[in-house]
């Protein structure tokens, strides 16, 4: 049995998890989901790079307690080493290295994006490969083919804004609150998705995405039509994004001969995207795998699970290795 502690601090969440043999989730603690206010008495800021420092020890302690293990039971300690905000990343990386050094166990630095890929199929680790994965969040929008364990190919990604970012910004244009994704999703249910013909950017141009122009198209429409029904704007905008995402995921699946469509990232919570993806899966005879929301958004489980694979294939990461805010996902050979 191999027990790995995974730490994730690349953006707003402080998260830690214990995973057994790269598959069995023994615990998962995410700072925004536990009552830290009660514990600290202070305000936990939303943009929380430095807050990681204050949260990390309790989050790790909670993850060990929930898994019912001691520090001495750990076989390795892993942390997300990028991409992300440098100050935020360094908190997790430093904590993981310090623990690994003290416990005399391997340290593993994990790529955040590779973590999301692993999380995507943790719910069914025996799913037949290849997989076509759509990773869609506030910070990322990319298509990846997972060819075999630990081997993947980046098929396309956004050239400007991430899809989740477009949701947030359109929500602001429409005067809705933050986070914008859920607000658009709710309003769109009562709107007419065919009422405004927003562009489907780059829909027939390869597998890269572009959402900046769509955001501007919404802005221009609202400026010119101040009386427009916000529900129609939300529904029409959402339909444009979903059209592009689902269409390109299907093309990616065709190109990579994938029988399973997988989705990860925070935007995977969008109800219309889930509905359309499920329908597309049925229509094309493909299986659709969408992990639970806890695994779609940033978490420690994906770091620990990926570390288990990395440890077997590449061995430990040097303690001299730092954090890399610009780390990309590079196709493996």
Q: Which residues bind other proteins (CB under 8 A)?
A: 11, 45-51, 83-87, 137-139, 157-162, 164-165, 168-169, 172-173, 212-213, 215-216, 219-220, 223-224, 325-326, 328
- DSSP, collapsed to helix, strand or coil, labels residue 140 as coil
* Comparison of 114 and 168: residue with beta carbon closer to other proteins: 168
Q: Measured from the CB of residue 162, what is the shortest distance to other proteins in angstroms?
A: 6
Q: Measured from the CB of residue 144, what is the shortest distance to other proteins in angstroms?
A: 16
- DSSP, collapsed to helix, strand or coil, labels residue 305 as helix
The answer to whether 167 and 181 have CB atoms below 8 angstroms apart is yes
Q: Measured from the CB of residue 48, what is the shortest distance to other proteins in angstroms?
A: 6
* Comparison of 153 and 215: residue with beta carbon closer to other proteins: 215
The answer to whether 96 and 228 have CB atoms below 8 angstroms apart is no
Q: Measured from the CB of residue 249, what is the shortest distance to other proteins in angstroms?
A: 19
* Comparison of 45 and 206: residue with beta carbon closer to other proteins: 45
Beta-carbon count within 10 A of 320 CB: 6
Q: What share of the chain is helix, strand, coil (3-state, %, to 5)?
A: 45, 20, 35
Q: In what order do the strands lie in the sheet with 15-20?
A: 24-30, 15-20, 3-8, 76-82, 107-111
* Comparison of 66 and 160: residue with beta carbon closer to other proteins: 160
Whole-number Å distance between alpha carbons of 10 and 28:
16
* Comparison of 11 and 263: residue with beta carbon closer to other proteins: 11
Q: Measured from the CB of residue 99, what is the shortest distance to other proteins in angstroms?
A: 23
Whole-number Å distance between alpha carbons of 107 and 93:
9
């Amino acid at each position: 049995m191999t027990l790995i502690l995974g730490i994730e601090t690349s953006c707003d969440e402080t998260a830690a998890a214990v995973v057994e043999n790269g598959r069995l989730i023994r615990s998962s603690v995410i700072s925004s989901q536990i009552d830290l206010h009660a514990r600290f008495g202070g305000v936990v800021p939303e943009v929380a790079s430095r807050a990681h420092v204050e949260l990390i020890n309790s989050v790790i302690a909670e993850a060990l307690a929930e898994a019912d293990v001691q520090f001495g039971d750990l076989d390795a300690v892993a942390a997300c080493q990028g991409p992300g905000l440098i100050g935020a990343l360094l908190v997790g990386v430093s904590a993981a290295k310090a623990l690994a050094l003290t416990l005399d166990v391997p340290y593993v630095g994990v790529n955040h994006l590779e973590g999301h890929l692993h999380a995507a199929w943790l719910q069914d680790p025996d799913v037949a490969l290849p997989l076509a994965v759509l990773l869609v969040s506030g910070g990322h929008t990319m298509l990846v083919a997972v060819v075999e364990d630990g081997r993947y190919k980046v098929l396309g990604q956004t050239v400007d804004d991430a899809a989740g970012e477009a949701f947030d910004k359109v929500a602001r244009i429409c005067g809705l609150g933050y986070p914008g994704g859920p607000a658009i999703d709710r309003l769109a249910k009562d709107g007419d998705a065919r009422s405004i013909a927003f562009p489907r950017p780059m829909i027939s141009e390869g597998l890269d995405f572009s959402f900046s122009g769509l955001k501007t198209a919404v802005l221009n429409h609202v400026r010119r039509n101040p009386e427009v029904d916000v529900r129609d704007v939300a529904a029409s905008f959402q339909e444009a994004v979903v059209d592009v995402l689902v269409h390109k995921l299907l093309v990616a699946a065709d190109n990579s001969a994938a029988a399973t469509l997988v989705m990860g990232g925070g935007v995977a919570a969008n109800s219309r995207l889930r509905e359309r993806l499920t329908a597309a899966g049925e229509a094309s005879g493909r299986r659709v795998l969408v992990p639970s929301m806890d695994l779609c958004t940033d978490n420690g489980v994906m770091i620990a699970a990926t570390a288990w694979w990395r440890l077997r294939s590449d061995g430990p990461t040097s303690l001299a290795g730092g954090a890399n805010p610009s780390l990309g996902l590079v196709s493996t050979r």
